[in-house]
Amino acid sequence: MNERVQKIMHFLAGALVILHALDHYESGYGAILFYFVLGLIMLTLALFQDSIEKRSQKLAGVLYWIEGIVIFFIAFEKFEAFKRIIPVIYLFIGIFYFFTGYFMITKKVKVKKRRS
């Protein structure tokens, strides 16, 4: 996958979680600080995504899984709030993140040999 698309995906996931935290702040419900910190962590990981991928392709895939889990938590909270369409969209986004993480982990990376 293109590096720019991956970085945009991480930023969107972080922004989505921060917006969810702000939604909790307005309604006075839930763990505002928990979601806000998670969103900031996701945005920070988006900034350092290039160096994370250089260290390990599998670690980048695991980060997609973590983002998918957080998005699933948001979807289930929306289901509990008796929303109809928005949780389904969140579920599709979470599934997309899980598949992306799976393909990142199982992808074979060719290592270039250096000439000495």
> 73: helix, coil or strand?
helix
* Other Cβ atoms within 10 Å of 89 Cβ, number: 13
Tens place of pLDDT per residue across the chain (116 aa)? 567 777 787 788 888 888 878 877 766 666 778 888 888 888 888 888 778 777 777 787 888 888 888 888 888 888 877 777 888 888 888 898 888 888 888 876 554 455 55
Spatial contact of 101 and 62, defined as CB atoms under 8 Å apart: yes
